[in-house]
Amino acid sequence: MKKLIQDFELIKYKELNCEHFVLDIKAKEALPEILPGQFVNVKVDNNSSVFLRRPLSIHNVDYERNVIQLFVKRVGEGTKSLGELKIGDTLSVVYPLGNAFSIPKNAKTLLIGGGCGVAPLLYLSKFLHQAGNEVTIILGVRSAHDSVSLEAYKPYGRVLVTTEDGSQGEKGYPTQHSVLTNESFDYSFTCGPEPMMKAVAAYSKANDVTCEVSLENMMACGFGACLCCVTDTKKGNKCVCTEGPIFNIKDLKW
């Protein structure tokens, strides 16, 4: 798939909570095919101390308006600077990068996201819904104060929430939700903290569920040149930015 470097215009900024925000960026030209699980590398121009582009998961795509939506967590200088952009500002974007989630048909699918790991799951849920799958989405956060907007997910499936303090949904981690005990699934997809993804992988192995994870290794170039995102798999070292970020758990040493 051809990679592009294009300037996008920031047309909308939405604050979700103290840590997370969403950017709607508009291309001047028609968008290419973008698949769920792929990501972009964004140049941070408004901070002279940030030299490397920042990899961000694609949260959603609107082809009619040529708009890509990015879900961002304030972590370091780069993402904090992205949160200070103004409407009308320009972002240099390299995209679409990485591989994509598999899209089964007419299956019972489970999506589990924790923290900023919810980022690629909205676009994935749209594809799964369109393919005739039954979609269940579990979103895990620390508390109701940290909760992300749930309305965007509801057209595509059942949305469940867990909070560590019990202030919204079920108390506990997303991998502790009662639906995992009470129901069975054909496929599971997850993104978030590695301990959570490993717990989803363990659940999937124990219940014979096909499972794919989106790894969040540190990525600098997005083209497999810098090798800082390499992960050790059963088939040898793989660059997460080019041969991932999506991996079937059968290929990982988990």
Kindly write down the DSSP assignment for every residue of 150-189, as one continuous string: -TTTGGGSEEEEEETTSSSSEES-GGG-THHHH---SEEE
Q: Is residue 79 helix, strand or coil?
A: helix
d(CA 232, CA 234): 7
Question: Which residue stretches of the chain have pLDDT < 50?
Answer: none
Residue 47 confidence (pLDDT) = 83
- Percentage above 70 pLDDT, the chain: 100
Assign 78 to helix, strand or coil: helix
Count of other CB atoms within 10 angstroms of residue 167: 15
In order of 13, 111, 222, the CA distances from 200 in angstroms are 32, 10, 26
In terms of Cβ atoms closer than 10 Å to its own Cβ (0-12, 13-18, 19+), residue 210 is middle
What is this structure's pTM? 0.94
Q: Return the closest-CA partner of residue 220 out of 30, 90, 18, 41.
A: 41
Q: Could you tell me the two tokens for 59? A: 């949260």
Q: Which of 11, 141, 139 is nearest to 86 (CA)?
A: 11
pLDDT in tens, 1-43: 688 999 999 999 999 887 889 999 999 999 999 999 999 999 9
Distance of CA 210 to the CA centre of its chain: 19
pLDDT at 88: 97
Torsional class of 105: left (φ above 0), alpha (ψ -120 to 50), beta (otherwise) = beta
| 165/158 Cα distance (integer angstroms) | 22
- Residue of 63, 64, 60 lying closest to 14 (CA atoms): 60
User: What are the structural domains, with CATH classification, of the chain?
Assistant: 4-97 (2.40.30.10), 108-214 (3.40.50.80)
